[in-house]
Chains A and B, each alone.
Chain A
Amino acid sequence: MTVPDNAAMLGKEVPVEKIERELRILWEADEARTNASLMNLAVYSEASGALHVNSDIIREITREHACRALLIGLDKSIEEISVRAWITAHCHLAHGRKSVCCEQIAFHLTGHSRGRFRNTIFAHLQSDLPLIFWWQGNLSSMFSESLYRRIDRLVIDSSAWIDTAKQFEKITEAIRQVNLTVQDLAWTRTYHFRLAIASLYDDPTASKSLKNVSKVKIVVNPEHKVSGIQLLAWFTEMAGWERTQDLISDKEDSGSYRFLTDKGSIVDVELSEDVNSAAIGKIEVISDGVTVCVSREKGSKHLRHQLQCGGHELDLHGPADSDSSAELVTDQLSRGGKNSLYKKILPFFLELLGK
């Protein structure tokens, strides 16, 4: 049997069939702690060394979200079927007073067996609490209907995928079959940009100018192109624009798009990549005499909201989405909801992705 690196950091190794008993012993050992849980949070990865990285992530997330965490690391390179388990608790002082703890069970699996993988997870859930499943990396053959049928919320990061379009086929299929609630961290990264755009368009002059937009510029970091396309899909879908085949310099993958507004005018969109940009660096919407721009410097914790209208100007800072996956998941869990907006823009996004 193989042992993941840094296994000691995962806590106490326990026989799989004794996990619940060992957890009870863990709690009884220290009465000063409160065990809290509002959900089952499973984190799955097929990358080597992921278990201890994810254990650190869970430590962060449990500061705000009490849960039972299940970490699952699968090493498919080894054919022999095996499973080992470790338990530990992450404790935090709540308001400097009470020590609140969340339990974590880490599994290291080898070999390829979907049934065993599912059973291992489902046998260790806390009953009645929702299951949030964070799938890291590509959706492998382990991602099956009998798994996602029982998931309340699936967390993915589509910007980390190889072969993005193929992966999205699996997601759309899951949505079609079980109306799965999907929370894509690539989409979460656009949250404050969307809020900022929405609030700038509360301005009556900006709002009126939407009819006359001639150009939209989006700048993204190459690693986050998916977020850029999602932001574009959202903006154009909300503005009620339609894609037109009336193509401009349509070099393959050139990042240029052309849209028709409901008034029949043409808007050119340029989505460019810049290695020095933040995940999303900028969205700038230019129309007759009005420019709306939301931007972020790489590493900055703030977005810059700018509005230039004929008569008045705005230049403010607002919060930005985090660069850390742990924080994005934390924010996402706080917001809850069924993510219906994401589902709404998905078809259009896929169309733009396929370009």
Chain B
Amino acid sequence: MVHPSMSNPFREDLVSRSRPEACTVVIFGATGDLTHRKLIPALYNLAVDGELPPGVKIIGFARRDKSNEVFREGLKELNQEVSRNGHDEEIWQDFENTVEYHQSEFQDADGYKRLADRLDAIDVERGGKGNRLFYIASAPEYFDDILEHLKGAGLNESSEGCWSRVIVEKPFGTDLPSAQHLNKVVNQTFEEKDTYRIDHYLGKETAQNIMVLRFANAIFEPLWNSRYIKQVQITCAEHLGMEGGRGGYYDKAGALRDMVQNHLLQLLSLVAMEPPTDLSADGVRDEKVKVIRSLRQWDTPELVAENVVRAQYTAGHVHGKSVVGYREEDRVDPESMTESYVALRCMVDTWRWSGVPFYIRMGKRLPKKATEISVHFRSAPNVLFNATPGDTDEGNVLVIRIQPDEGISLRMVSKLPGTTLRLEPVKMDFHYSTSFGKGSPEAYERLLLDAMAGDATLFARRDEVEEAWKFIDHIHRGWHESDKGKEPEMADFVAGSWGPEAADDLLEKDGNTWRRL
């Protein structure tokens, strides 16, 4: 395939990122929440920033009967509400003209034939460039249908010099067999290089910054190993519970499958990976998957009980409001054994990380919303200042805040002013928002552009997804398939607190404590 920058001399030196190419984006599930709140505003904001290649067309595929006008009106209404760059009517008018509605059932072969005809007509209107990007924004039970029908209509094939790619939304499977099945179905339709499994955490600015921080600064990498790092913590705290009917989905998934399998293991692999040989998609993903593969498996109920804590919240207070317990939530089984909180102790069995625990915790109805990674360095030899009063034995901590208030901070020990020698921790803090006034693009903007440019670095590869499920499935089995009486216990904690005591004990065994957020 000839990349446009090669045939288009005006691209040279103009922008450093790989250039997205004109294409038709077909969104399956286009009347849904994801399309209205994320995908369309992301595409519109790309247009505002002049990043969307001219000639892009967007086709919304869904079941309801709608005219183009009604469909566009609905999109506009939400865009006005949520768009990052505000809503400019002139740009919207142009943008809206590129959007069409295509009514069809996911299971209706004829609908795909009509789609194929329409796509061909668009290619002609555009001057023959038949690039297609299929975005599957439907519930996972339709993935098979959609993919098989795409194949049936020949839409997975691309004409010469063009491409056909698919973006698949989470959840990518519910366990290893279902993920393998999905991967099989996807790869029967699209080649792996044309498959983009979206993990919007990887599109966040600070997640992308982890590699830059590690590999573009000479001071961190020499210390980035078990000799200097004592432990790493990854926390994803949410203050929300099961509002808006999300209990129905969540009670089937749970914290481990909903967040840890994808987002948090992805963050872990970015922190723990070896330097890639280059920044190509496979260069980076080869190193990431090695981390997941090196995770020690908790594959017996005993190991699960020792290294993983699951819990549910009971009634309590969050942000000053009283809230019900997890089992009392709307659409949650009153006898549910689904975890709303999980804490794990992970061991990455590589030379670099030997003996360093990576703790992950994720929970609903914790005191506040925060996602961050903290890297805890070993203390300096305690010989000079051991007799001095103050907090000296705590080592340096490097914190990477993913959301909200993205930034980086470093805790160091310093002398308190005064005539006596007293030591206290101080913090050097870098906030994106105060240093760079300009807001970062939304994760979906970056990811859609990358998919149009054929850059899969920030998307999960098949082996990453399957290796992650393998790790998660062992834990799940330990919880749900152990002999009666032997299954690891379900702890509880009061909503609005930082999780169950058992999670504190998990760290205490190693002589560590959770970082206070």
Query: Which segment, of B74-82, B176-184, B416-424, B429-437, faces chain A?
Result: B429-437
Q: Mark A310-349, 1 if CB is under 8 A from B, else 0.
A: 0110101111000000000000001001001100100000
Partner of B14, one of A194, A239, A307, A318: A194
Tell me if A196 counts as interface (CB < 8 A to partner B): yes
Q: Assess whether B12 is interfacial by the CB under 8 Å rule.
A: yes
A240 interface residue, CB < 8 Å from B?
yes
Q: Determine which of A94, A311, A314 lies in contact with B433 in the assembled complex, contact meaning CB atoms within 8 Å.
A: A94
Q: Give the CA-CA distance A167 to B436 in the complex, in Å.
A: 33
Give 8 A-B pairs besides A194-B10, A210-B9 with Cβ atoms closer than 8 angstroms: A38-B435, A201-B8, A202-B8, A202-B21, A238-B10, A312-B125, A319-B48, A341-B12
Q: How far is the CA of A23 from the CA of B436 in the complex (A)?
A: 22
Closest to A337 in B: B16
Take A36-B434, A201-B10, A204-B129 as given contacts and tell me if A319 and B55 are in contact as well, using a CB distance cutoff of 8 Å: no
A204 touches B433 (CB 8 A): no
Smallest Cβ-Cβ distance to B22: which chain A residue: A202
Most buried by B among A204, A301, A302, A309: A204
What's the minimum C-beta distance from B289 to chain A, rounded to whole angstroms? 32
The verdict on A64 contacting chain B, using a C-beta distance below 8 Å, is yes
Q: Known: A198-B10, A202-B8, A344-B13. Contact between A63 and B437, CB under 8 A?
A: yes
Residues of B in contact with A (beta carbons under 8 Å apart): 4, 7-16, 19, 21-22, 47-50, 53-55, 88, 90-91, 93-94, 124-129, 431, 433-438
0/1 string, A99-129, CB within 8 A of B gives 1: 0100000000000000000000000000000
Q: In the bound complex, how far is the Cα of B90 from the Cα of A334, in angstroms?
A: 25
List residues of A whose CB falls within 8 A of some B CB: 34, 36, 38, 62-66, 92, 94-95, 98, 100, 192, 194-205, 207, 210, 235, 238-240, 301-302, 305, 307, 309, 311-312, 314, 316-319, 334, 337, 340-341, 344
Q: Which label, helix, strand, loop or mixed, suits the secondary structure of the A interface?
A: mixed
Contact B48 A202 (CB under 8 A): no
Contact A309 B127 (CB under 8 A): yes
List 14 A-B residue pairs with CB atoms under 8 Å apart, sorted by A's residue number.
A34-B431, A64-B438, A192-B50, A194-B14, A202-B4, A202-B8, A203-B54, A204-B7, A238-B9, A311-B127, A312-B125, A318-B91, A340-B13, A341-B14
Which of A64, A200, A302, A318 gathers most chain B CB within 10 Å? A318
Contact at B124–A65, with CB atoms within 8 Å? no
Whether B129 contacts A203 by the Cβ 8 Å rule is: yes
Cα A314 to Cα B125 in complex, Å, equals 9
Nearest-neighbor residue (CB-CB) of B47 within chain A: A318
Whether A204 touches B19, Cβ cut-off 8 Å, given contacts A66-B437, A341-B13, is no
CB distance from A230 to the nearest CB of B (A): 14
Write the chain A residue with the least CB distance to B124: A311
Measured between C-beta atoms, what is the minimum distance from A233 to chain B in Å?
13
Q: Please, which residue of chain B has its CB at the minimum distance from the CB of A95?
A: B433
Q: Which residue of B lies closest to A235 (CB)?
A: B10
| Residues of chain A lying within 8 A (CB to CB) of residue B93 | 317
- Complex formed: what's the CA distance from A314 to B13 in Å? 25
Docked Cα-Cα span, A95 to B404, in Å, equals 11
CB neighbours (8 Å) of A318 from chain B are: 47, 50, 91
CA distance A238 to B127 in the complex (A): 24
Find out whether the CB atom of B54 lies under 8 angstroms from the CB atom of A307: yes
Roughly how many angstroms separate A246 CA and B264 CA in the complex, as a whole number?
Answer: 66
Distance to closest chain A CB from B186 (angstroms):
28
Bound: A243/B88 CA distance, A: 42
Q: Across the interface, which residues of A come within 8 angstroms of B91, CB to CB?
A: 302, 317-318
CB within 8 A of B94: which of A65, A204, A317? A317
